[in-house]
Chain A
Amino acid sequence: MSLLIPESGLFIWMLLAFGTVLFVLWKFGWPAFTKMLDERAQYIDDSIAKAKLANDELANIQTKTAAMLKEAQEQQSKILAEAVETRNQIVEKAKTEATLAGQKILAEAKQQIEVEKEDAIRDIRRQVGLLSVEISEKVLRQSLKTDKDQMAMIDRMLDEIQTKL
């Protein structure tokens, strides 16, 4: 039965020994452990959060890069298309311009030709007129040697004018 009765002497020694151990470890032992455990847990949490953040950022950068690449490609194709269009426009413009210039030159040439033709015709007419006047003079000088002939001629001419009018 003595096992079931707490011995007061041992109890006091236990109080003393455990109290001392408790005090010593409270002051110098456990803070080192608990501080480190808390800090390490915090450090691990922080590191995980940071890793997650970095991962997210990386994914973000990747999507951004992809978007940028896509945009650049779009821009490129757009620029290319624009260039093709511009080229076509330029060619088209050049063509039309060339056509217009050709037409213009042609028209001018035609006009020139016309003018020159007219000039030539006028010249020819004048020449013909002069020639005919000369011929007529000569013919008239021969045929209108008399006054009677001259009068008959004038009458005939007048008639002719009248009928024309």
Chain B
Amino acid sequence: MNKNNKVWTLLVSLLLAVGTLLPRPALAQEHNEGEAKQLDVTAMIFEHVGDSYYWHITDWGETSIALPLPVMVYSKTSGFHCFMSSKFHHGHAEYEGLKIAGEESDYAGKIVETVGGTEVRPFDFSITKNVAGLIIASILLCWIILGCARWYKNRDASSPAPKGFVGAVEMLVNFVYNDVIKPNIPKHTDRYAPYLLTAFFFIFFCNLAGLIPGSANLTGNIAVTLCLALFTFFIVNIFGTKAYWQEIFWNTELPGWLRPIMAVIEFIGIFTKPFSLTIRLFANILAGHAALLGVLSVIFLTAISMPGLGNGAMSVVSILLGIFLDCLELLVAFIQAFVFTMLSSIYIGLSQVEHHHE
């Protein structure tokens, strides 16, 4: 124990020592460029978790390295527009009457058109960073799953179970299929299993992909999670049995005076379920990313406020905390995918009830 403590102390002091040395060039640069440049942590975090018309990779000195993405816009006044986002020159230029709204606008960071002095948002289906990430993630996911599915060709139940990557994927499929879907949806499992498996793997894959620095934050975007939640919502309510609707509007298991009250509550519940699915996934992933970015920006904040040893020490602390948060996010990536799938299958399972007392 004592020996371990000594090793630990030594390690931390070594890291602190290295830390004091490391940020020096950055610090020097900061001083050279002048005190005027302040780090806006909020803007930085928002830029990282939000969507953009560029795929921003890094800043190298003063030049920003970013991939321009195609802009596709339909405006009622000026029709279709389709061009690369590099035409905006990072929001500094207007193109074909369109521009990226400034921070003071209601549509900050989005493409707007000025019609009669007011900013109007055209219908915008541009390939933004998130859309590009979405397409890449979808292709990769299909490729991975189809590749694993090919393993099963020319094999039958008596063949040994797969090893390696296919084995890992099969373990996850087995977990979702046998431990989440089957217990909740004992009847018509085949009808709902493909959706729930796809949802699980899509969320899990996007969660993990989102942790890669520079990648798109897909599951931390409300439009993505809303779309997933609406899939569950429509599956639940379109394929719901008669007994399911009866339990909502006239639950005969309840005393008579309670039934109308419960009907109202249950009716609201139909909509709160997908709403909670949307917010839970989106908020968890967004909060994780924001916390991680916040912790890491401590390095740059302390570089200005307390240069030297303080900054070095804080850098080490922030990196250790960042590593911890990253590991936590790996766990959250799985848990949130699991929770979404679990709740979806519970909702679907509840919509498949049959009358027992008949």
Contacts and interface: CB of A to CB of B under 8 A. Distances in A.
Contacts of B119: none
A91 B34 CA distance: 135
Interface stretch (B57-65, B223-231, B265-273, B300-308): B223-231
Contacts of B148: 33
Contacts of B46: 3
Interface string B167-204: 00010011001100000000000100111011001100
B185 to A, nearest CB: 13
Interface string A23-53: 0111011111111110111110000000000
B161 A17 contact: no
B328 to A, nearest CB: 21
A115 B149 CA distance: 120
Central interface residue in B130, B145, B157, by most chain A CB within 10 Å? B157
Interface stretch (B131-139, B247-255, B341-349): B131-139
A34 B161 CA distance: 13
Contacts of A18: 138, 198, 202, 227-228, 231
A20 interface: yes
Given A18-B231, A25-B142, A43-B158, A13 B110 contact: no
Contact of A34 (B177, B227, B231): B177
Contacts of B110: 2
A9 B226 CA distance: 13
A24 to B, nearest CB: 5
B288 interface: no
B197 A3 contact: no
Interface residues of A, number: 37
B156 interface: yes
Nearest to A44: B157
B239 interface: no
B68 to A, nearest CB: 17
B128 interface: yes
Contacts of B125: 8-9, 12-13
Interface residues of B, number: 56
Contacts of A42: 157
B277 to A, nearest CB: 13
A23 to B, nearest CB: 9
A117 to B, nearest CB: 105
B227 A14 contact: yes
A21 B190 contact: no
Contacts of B153: 32
Most buried by B among A26, A33, A40: A33
B50 interface: yes
B221 interface: yes
A25 B145 contact: yes
A10 interface: yes
A10 B109 contact: no
A36 B110 CA distance: 47
B124 interface: yes
Given A11-B227, A39-B157, A5 B198 contact: no
Given A3-B49, A7-B223, 4 more contacts: A13-B135, A29-B194, A30-B197, A30-B198
- What 7 A-B pairs are tightest by C-beta distance, nearest first? A43-B157, A32-B149, A39-B157, A6-B223, A26-B194, A9-B125, A14-B227
28 contacts: A2-B107, A3-B46, A3-B286, A6-B226, A7-B221, A9-B124, A10-B51, A11-B226, A13-B134, A14-B134, A14-B227, A15-B227, A24-B146, A26-B195, A28-B149, A30-B145, A30-B173, A31-B149, A31-B194, A32-B150, A32-B153, A34-B173, A34-B190, A34-B193, A36-B155, A40-B157, A42-B157, A43-B158
